[in-house]
Amino acid sequence: MIRLALPKGRNLEPALAALRAAGLGLAEFEGRRLRQTLAAGSALGDGVELLLFKDWDLPLYVEHGIADVGIVGTDVLAEVESDLLTPLALRAGRSRMSLIGTGAALPAAGVQIRVATKYPRWARRLLADRPWGLEIVRLSGSVELGPLLELAELAVDIVQTGTTLREHDLVELEVLAEIAPTVVVNRAAYQWRREEINRWMRALERAEVVA
């Protein structure tokens, strides 16, 4: 039985939709139970053990082999740098990692700026070749407050619809990267559950829910 890790956050619904489309029976799924077993009857094998994790913890659980397979955003993967297989990315639930500010233009070359983000490691890589003196400030949430309250000149954060930005008179200055919910697989689990995992991947491809 495959142990499947699902994220509690914004990627849960796209993940569930993709799995349903691929034929995984999720009728018994209870969104508040952290650990549950869905019985056989699934089109994809002899049942599945579902584990619900916070997005930031999910790669760790899969990397440690607590779960065989998971679905998590590429934003988290880029920040935590796990050694996981990433066979497929979902079509739904996509967003973008953007540079956000209060003005309409990027800062001029040579100026010193501060950037607020939940993703300090990834932001450092994304902005490595920018012509600014750069200080990265890590925030744990409400990153848009960084430029709004002048803690930082810019923010690097996820933009989905842009509504939050408009509500706070912030501007999406530049898209730095696309983000997608992505299937992740533990390397060892792939070797001893290969047929089963590949069957899942083929089912997701057939359902046309992956890029």
* CA gap 69, 50 in Å, rounded: 10
* CA gap 158, 16 in Å, rounded: 21
Told to check if 188 binds another protein by CB under 8 A, we report yes
Task: Single out the segment in contact with another protein by CB under 8 A; choices: 8-16, 31-39, 129-137, 189-197.
Answer: 189-197
Tell me how far, at minimum, the Cβ of 172 lies from another protein, in Å. Answer: 26
Q: Can you read off the two tokens belonging to residue 114?
A: 């501060």
Instruction: Using alpha carbons, select from 70, 53, 77 the residue that is nearest to residue 186.
Output: 70
Tell me how far, at minimum, the Cβ of 61 lies from another protein, in Å. Answer: 10
Determine if residue 118 is left, alpha or beta; phi over 0 gives left, psi from -120 to 50 gives alpha, anything else beta.
Answer: alpha
Contact letters for another protein, residues 68-107 (x by CB under 8 A): -------------xxx-xxxxx------------------
Told to check if 194 binds another protein by CB under 8 A, we report yes
- Pick one of 33, 64, 125, 206: the residue that binds another protein (CB under 8 A): 64
Tell me how far, at minimum, the Cβ of 191 lies from another protein, in Å. Answer: 5
Task: Single out the segment in contact with another protein by CB under 8 A; choices: 2-10, 30-38, 62-70, 139-147.
Answer: 62-70
* CA gap 98, 123 in Å, rounded: 10
Where in 42-61 is the site for another protein (CB under 8 A)?
60
Q: What percent of the chain is helix, strand and coil (3-state, nearest 5)?
A: 25, 30, 40
* CA gap 197, 86 in Å, rounded: 12
**Site for another protein (CB under 8 A): how many residues?**
26
Q: Which is nearer to another protein, 24 or 69 (CB)?
A: 69
* CA gap 89, 72 in Å, rounded: 9
**34 with 61: CB under 8 angstroms?**
no
Tell me how far, at minimum, the Cβ of 201 lies from another protein, in Å. Answer: 6
Radius of gyration of the chain (CA): 19
Q: Which is nearer to another protein, 138 or 168 (CB)?
A: 138
Task: Single out the segment in contact with another protein by CB under 8 A; choices: 49-57, 96-104, 167-175, 182-190.
Answer: 182-190
Q: Can you read off the two tokens belonging to residue 100?
A: 């956000």
Q: Please, which residues have CB within 8 angstroms of residue 130's CB and are 6 or more apart in sequence? A: none
Query: Which residues contact another protein (rule: CB under 8 A)?
Result: 60, 63-65, 81-83, 85-89, 185-192, 194, 198, 201, 205, 210-211
